[in-house]
Amino acid sequence: MRTFTIGGIHPPECKLTAGKSIVEMPLPKQAVVLLGQHIGAPTQAVVEKGAVVKTGQLLAKAGGFVSANIHSPVSGKVNKIAEVVDASGYPRPAIFIDVEGDEWEEGIIRSDKLERECKLEPEEIVRKINEAGIVGMGGACFPAHVKLTPPPGKKAEILVVNGVECEPYLTADHRLMLEKGPEIIVGIRILMKALNVNKAVIGIECNKPDAIELLQHLAQPYPEIEVMPLKMHYPQGGEKQLIEATTGRQVPSGCLPIEVGAVVQNVGTIFAVYEAVQKNKPLFERIVTVTGKSLTNAGNFRVRMGTPIKELIDFAGGLPENAGKVISGGPMMGKALASLDAPVAKGTSGVLVMDEAESKRGQASDCIRCAKCVSACPMGLEPYLLGALSEHKDWEGAEKVHMMDCIECGCCTFTCPANRPLLDYLRIGKAKVGALIRSRKQ
Amino acid sequence: MANNFYVSMSPHFHSGDSVSKNMYRVIIALIPAFAVSLVFFGWNALLVTAISIASCVLFEWLIAKFLMKRPCTICDGSAILTGLLLAFNLPSNLDWWIVVIGALVAIGVAKMSFGGLGNNIFNPALVGRVFLLVSFPQQMTTWPKTIFQMKVQEAANAISGASGAVADATTGATPLALIKAGQFDQLPSYLDMFVGNTGGSMGEVGAMAILIGLVYLLVRKTITWHIPVSIMATVFIFAGILHLGNPEAFVDPLTHLLTGGLMLGACFMATDYVTSPMSKKGQIIYGVGIGVLTVLIRTFGAYPEGVSFAILIMNAVTPLINVYCKPKRFGRLKK
Amino acid sequence: MNAIVIALIVLGSIGLLLALVLFLAAKAFYVEEDPRIDQVQEVLPGANCGGCGYPGCRGFAEACVKSSSLDSMLCPVGGAETMKKVGEILGMASVASAPKVAVLRCNGSCANRPKVNRYDSAPSCAVAAALYGGETACSYGCLGKGDCVEVCQFGALSINPETGLPEIDEEKCTACGACVKACPKMLLELRNKGPKSRRIYVACRNHDKGAVAKKACAAACIGCSKCQKVCEFEAITMENNVAYIDFNKCRLCRKCEEACPTGAIHALNFPPRKPKAEKPAAEASKPAAEAPKPAAEAPKLAQAAPKAAETAQTETPKAE
């Protein structure tokens, strides 16, 4: 079985909710729709306080090419446009909508009937995806239409579908593949058409044999779609690692995947594309895994964007007494929340409630130079060195040892026997080195 | 609002590995070798080991508490390990005060003066041993015979009836000293060398026991194969070439592998985290360097044994190796 | 005997030979340097803090000698006195500038600003700021991890374990600006030291609306603009729900301090206010007992003064 070649770790899987079917979550009383749910330019709100909105109506317009529209996840009245502390830990502008009923915008097809055929031209498809505000749903939230528009001179050759879900605990993509397999296959064919590629490969880690089997069966009529079982290996869901695992090509340092002719899309994104193109449904809901060892009713829920995370936890059985940490996303790359008022956004793949006992980090001691971080780094970097340089604010030195290659996967901190917060310093270093490089270009 | 959650950067998972776990794993891996030393050298081995560990731990505690004034670090097991490794590098009949001096040099000079675990350049136990070797050459190179060798000798004496002629029979030459003296025919058998029935430092004699420990460390992923294998392979190949060139002057490579501190050095001393290179490529260069230096010192140098010097020299080169040997980077080929 | 003589001759001749080489090299590679650079460097403090913007004191001395005027040159550590000396050496007029000192524009002590979560990452403000708003509900305030303390070369900063905030020892502070650059929340500011070290500033940078800010921190600036209204010199500007006092316009009348309902405005090193007639004597005597101390004990006084100020403010509404 294939996997990527450098570094990587094997964290405990903890896929507690793998057997739980997707459950529709009831609508929140008030939806808090963040104006920034993606990487890139912020959006401009097009509704005002007091406006009555329908589900699926445009709330905020993309603020540039690398940006994504935001649609109302509920119907109701705009209460206010104010700030809310989101998963970034800072107050960010958001539209607060008091929910009244659930009236959908006209033109959205609400039936579950599978629409196989798509007769649209590639440009039409990309335009629809752009209008639907679809972003990468794996967590990075990079606007999907940007990836589908290769820069001049570059040509996509293969569509890599990310069904890896290498983060421990998360099962949202797994459930989606099991329950929406036919739709995903249609979505893949739509994207292949949009990209004008004749090959697609779905990478799925072998801890999901049911999903592999199902998709292999569904993809049988389409020889151009290959389902590839992959070895369990974190961070296989990382774009560069997945491309290497599936195609054997390494994206050169500092380049985008299109450099090797690959475009990676998450299965969640693929499903959103299907819904946008075939059902005219913009992106306003997603599957969220709400999980944790002490949650009584952990599961995979279909959630409207803007639902406060507190309501998700309540729906999953309420916050346990011994909760010590709540994470938006998975345990390896997710963000710890300071406030449960933070709403679900396009990139919220999971909510993990950790027990008090497993929440606290161990006491850090001096580096013993065991080189375990070096062995674990999937980018072949030297985290111990980068961490030390970053701690001593030697940004030029850090740049020379390829600080910018870091993908922030957390393998180094995970593996460090001295409990050193390596990634903490690497993140700072990456930000500073990035600023340094930008200032040099100006 | 005030939910008092912990907030930290990702990852929120940890492997559960710790410095002390790694240290104790190495200590566990040394148990077979310790058992061998007990079998062959008796209670003396236990005594020297106990003194060495106790004084290492004591010195670390004293220095951390009164000189460096920082939290005590003896619980991480590194001082115990240093003490154990130091003892393994000493003859079992060494006077107790020499052992204490060795421990002081190992912990005080080689480790704590650099800032404690993780900051030292040289392997503390080896610095202690080499210090003793150059300060007390007489005591450090007087090796006791193993219990079995003495029994054999007694039996031989009984047969020949020459009871008075064994005044200094409790000590004997190590295989390496025999090699140095060119007395190849007096070398013990491979089997004796493999199980440890030869003269030498307490922990280094039993090649088999050390290999068991190595397998344990590899299985527990405490160390990787790169350093021990590259050292052994280099010694074998280099000594093999010399032996093929002139079998009269140079002993066969298997004897090189099984004698002296090579096994102990390759498996436990050279693989010390702190003083070995970080990248796999660097580790192999480091191992090859130790192997070449060991054979050079053994065959052409003044000392019969060269493992400790070779490791210390390569320890000094490690920072340089770290600068020039980078791990294989992902996507390093720029278009 | 012979050996000693040979050794002496050999070593002596090697020494002589090397001396000759060094002498020739020094001649051959001699670099002409303006002697005034050394003179200027001599009068500089020699801390090499980089506060002037040049790489160390030598760099600053070279820049001074090269430049045609000293207008834009300032050694923040040595201040006007040092610049005057530099001016004398170079025969140029130095610009007299007011001595400055760093102030912390946050009043979010443990008592004022309750913690709502537990920070568990690397002990660094930069890391904390990259992670989230902070351990309290105020995402503009001091993170208390001591990045400023770490960069201060003069030991002028220290974290007060009681308040969790850094304190500035104004005797040691040289206004080099290292802490200003280090603070990710931009809370530290270099302000005029003021006559007799008296100065007034807004100790808050919370941009939230009044109610939100007040909920997060008892001593937050709530953007009520009262201080702006009472200021007779137009020294106070309101931006993003927070007041700012321009120290060039401020005349230290202390009216704003009196008007502030939350105690966000700090007045340092002022003599204690005379107790007003209607105030109970017992309350007023507390700050009065602490405050009147010689100027030499300024740092201690600096801590006492805000306390005095707070007491005064909590009382004003009652008095009205």
Mean pLDDT score across all residues of chain A:
93
pLDDT at C95 over 80: no
**What average pLDDT score do residues C213-239 get?**
91
* DSSP summary character for residue B145: P
Largest CA distance in chain A: 63
Q: E-assigned strands of A56-137? A: 58-61, 70-71, 76-85, 91-99
- C-chain residue closest to A365, CA distance: C122
Q: E-assigned strands of A168-314? A: 200-205, 225-230, 262-266, 285-291, 299-304
**What average pLDDT score do residues B209-227 get?**
94
Q: How far is B118 from chain C (nearest CA, A)?
A: 19
Contacts of B324 (CB under 8 A, 6+ apart): B282
Q: Which residue has better confidence, C78 or A224?
A: A224
B7–C116 C-beta distance less than 8 A: no
Which of B247-261, C68-82, C119-133, C251-265 is predicted least confidently?
C68-82
pLDDT value at position B182?
80
Q: Is B8 on the interface with C (CB under 8 A)?
A: yes
Q: Is C160 on the interface with A (CB under 8 A)?
A: no
CA distance B61 to B76: 12
For residue A168, the chain B residues in CB contact (below 8 A) are: 13
Strand partners, C102: C190
Q: What is the pLDDT of residues A252-270, one digit of tens each?
A: 998 899 999 999 999 999 9
Q: How far is C112 from chain B (nearest CA, A)?
A: 15
For residue B4, the chain C residues in CB contact (below 8 A) are: 115-118
Q: Is C122 on the interface with A (CB under 8 A)?
A: yes
For residue C148, the chain A residues in CB contact (below 8 A) are: none
Q: How far is B58 from chain A (nearest CA, A)?
A: 21
- B-chain residue closest to A253, CA distance: B331
Cis peptide before A143 (omega within 30 of 0): no
What are chain C's partners, defined as 3 or more CB pairs within 8 angstroms? A, B
B6–C127 C-beta distance less than 8 A: no
**What average pLDDT score do residues A244-257 get?**
92
Structural domain including B77 reads 19-140
Report domain C35-90's class. Answer: mainly alpha
C131–B6 C-beta distance less than 8 A: no
pLDDT at C282 over 80: no
pLDDT value at position B333?
64
For residue B8, the chain C residues in CB contact (below 8 A) are: 119-121, 131
Q: What is the pLDDT of residues A271-302, one digit of tens each?
A: 999 999 999 999 999 999 999 999 999 999 99
Going edge to edge, which strands form the sheet with A285-291? A22-24, A299-304, A285-291, A350-355, A323-328, A335-336
Q: How far is C221 from chain A (nearest CA, A)?
A: 18
- By Cβ distance, the residue of B1, B6, B9 closest to C118 is B6
pLDDT at C290 over 50: no
A88–C139 C-beta distance less than 8 A: no
Confidence tier at B205 by pLDDT (50, 70, 90):
confident
A338–C133 C-beta distance less than 8 A: yes
A residues 369-398 near C, CB within 8 Å? 391
- In the A/C pair of chains, how many CB contacts fall below 8 A? 45
**What average pLDDT score do residues C98-122 get?**
90
pLDDT value at position C194?
84
Q: How far is C261 from chain A (nearest CA, A)?
A: 25
Q: Is C120 on the interface with A (CB under 8 A)?
A: yes
Residue A30 host element (H or E)? strand A30-34
- Percent with pLDDT over 70 in chain A: 100
Nearest to C189 by CA among C103, C75, C268, C299: C103
Q: How far is C285 from chain A (nearest CA, A)?
A: 43
Cis peptide before A235 (omega within 30 of 0): yes
B7–C132 C-beta distance less than 8 A: yes
pLDDT value at position C68?
80
- By Cβ distance, the residue of B10, B22, B115 closest to A333 is B10
Q: Is residue B128 part of a domain?
A: yes
C121–A421 C-beta distance less than 8 A: yes
Q: How far is C39 from chain B (nearest CA, A)?
A: 40
Q: Is A89 on the interface with B (CB under 8 A)?
A: yes
B5–A423 C-beta distance less than 8 A: no
Q: Which residue has better confidence, C88 or A69?
A: A69
Q: What is the pLDDT of residues A185-217, one digit of tens each?
A: 999 999 999 999 999 999 999 999 999 999 999
Q: Is residue B27 part of a domain?
A: yes
A360–C133 C-beta distance less than 8 A: no
Helices (H), chain C: 2-28, 35-43, 56-66, 79-90, 125-131, 147-151, 178-182, 210-216, 226-230, 255-259, 281-290, 298-319
Confidence tier at C244 by pLDDT (50, 70, 90):
very high
Q: E-assigned strands of chain B? A: 5-7, 143-144, 171-172
**What average pLDDT score do residues B324-329 get?**
91
Domain ranges of chain C: 35-90, 100-319
For residue C117, the chain B residues in CB contact (below 8 A) are: 3-7
CA distance B288 to A3: 31
Helix (H, G, I), strand (E, B) or coil at A295: coil
Contacts of B300 (CB under 8 A, 6+ apart): none
SS3 percent helix, strand, coil of chain A, rounded to 5, is 30, 20, 50
Q: Is B5 on the interface with C (CB under 8 A)?
A: yes
Q: What is the pLDDT of residues B14-24, one digit of tens each?
A: 999 999 999 99
Instruction: Please name the residue that has the structure tokens 């995370």.
Output: A309
Q: How far is C104 from chain A (nearest CA, A)?
A: 21
Confidence tier at C274 by pLDDT (50, 70, 90):
low
pLDDT at C283 over 90: no
For residue B5, the chain C residues in CB contact (below 8 A) are: 117-118
Q: Is residue B244 part of a domain?
A: no
Q: Is residue B25 part of a domain?
A: yes
- In the A/B pair of chains, how many CB contacts fall below 8 A? 172
Q: How far is C142 from chain A (nearest CA, A)?
A: 14
Q: What is the pLDDT of residues A18-45, one digit of tens each?
A: 999 999 999 999 999 999 888 888 899 9
- B-chain residue closest to A252, CA distance: B331
Residue type, C269: N
pLDDT at C292 over 60: no
pLDDT at B131 over 90: yes
- By Cβ distance, the residue of A90, A338, A364 closest to C116 is A338
Please tell me the total count of domains within chain B.
1
Q: How far is A123 from chain C (nearest CA, A)?
A: 39
**What average pLDDT score do residues B106-122 get?**
92
C133–A91 C-beta distance less than 8 A: yes
Residue C190 host element (H or E)? strand C188-192
**What average pLDDT score do residues B98-122 get?**
93
For residue A414, the chain B residues in CB contact (below 8 A) are: 11, 13-15
Confidence tier at C96 by pLDDT (50, 70, 90):
low
pLDDT value at position C87?
86
- In the B/C pair of chains, how many CB contacts fall below 8 A? 33
Confidence tier at B334 by pLDDT (50, 70, 90):
low
Domains, in order of start, for chain A: 26-108+282-356 (3.10.20.600), 122-279 (3.40.50.11540), 372-441 (no CATH)
Residue C30: how many other CB atoms lie within 10 Å: 8
A residues 148-187 near B, CB within 8 Å? 168
pLDDT value at position C77?
81
Q: How far is C293 from chain A (nearest CA, A)?
A: 41
Q: Is B4 on the interface with C (CB under 8 A)?
A: yes
Residue B119: how many other CB atoms lie within 10 Å: 15
Q: Is residue B230 part of a domain?
A: no
Q: Which residue has better confidence, B159 or A81?
A: A81
Q: Is A425 on the interface with C (CB under 8 A)?
A: yes
- By Cβ distance, the residue of B9, B283, B334 closest to A424 is B9
Question: What ipTM score was computed for the predicted complex, to two decimals?
Answer: 0.89
For residue B283, the chain A residues in CB contact (below 8 A) are: 371
pLDDT value at position B161?
60
A405–B330 C-beta distance less than 8 A: yes
Which of A164-168, A358-362, C33-37, C147-151 is predicted least confidently?
C33-37
pLDDT value at position C314?
39
B15–A415 C-beta distance less than 8 A: yes
C118–B9 C-beta distance less than 8 A: no
- B-chain residue closest to C215, CA distance: B1
